[in-house]
Homo-oligomer: A and B are copies of this chain.
Amino acid sequence: MAAQSSFRVRTRGRSFEDITGQVQERVAAAGVADGACNVFLRHTSASLLISENADPSVRRDLERFMRRVAPDGSPEYEHDTEGPDDMPAHIRSVLAGVQLTIPVSGGRLALGTWQGIYLWEHRVAPHDREVVVTVWG
């Protein structure tokens, strides 16, 4: 049987929030020894990703990369209802994705040593984001 729960994250605007601990708590509570865990973000202008968890300069460079390939306020965008960061947020969300499935081994996420789970806010203003965690095995 699958165990499912959700939690909310208040972002600070464009930034990365480390949610590894919150996902790990739900995996531990599920009581699944070996199986898998799906982490899902219910939004289209932020992302869930696995990235390097040691050096914060990696996240700063990821942010800089996205600003270059999908610049704010580009005349290329037709969609700008919510401002110059509206459409780039949707593009980033498609490129980095909103769903991850991660193995569970011995009751814990089987992440590599340098892997962390991040919620990447793509909008400039702070937002409330909801993450659904489903564990099975």
The chain A residues found within 8 Å of chain B, CB to CB, are 1-2, 4, 34-36, 38, 40-45, 49-52, 55, 57-58, 60-62, 64-65, 68-70, 76-79, 81, 87, 90-91, 93-103, 105, 110-115, 130, 132, 134, 136-137
Contacts and interface: CB of A to CB of B under 8 A. Distances in A.
How many copies the complex holds: the figure is 3
A38 to B, nearest CB: 5
A134 B43 contact: no
A38 B102 CA distance: 8
Contact of A36 (B2, B78, B91, B115): B2
Contact of A79 (B49, B55, B87): B55
Given A35-B134, A103-B38, A78 B94 contact: no
Contact of A132 (B62, B95, B105, B114): B105
Contact of A91 (B65, B79, B113): B65
Contacts of A105: 4, 132
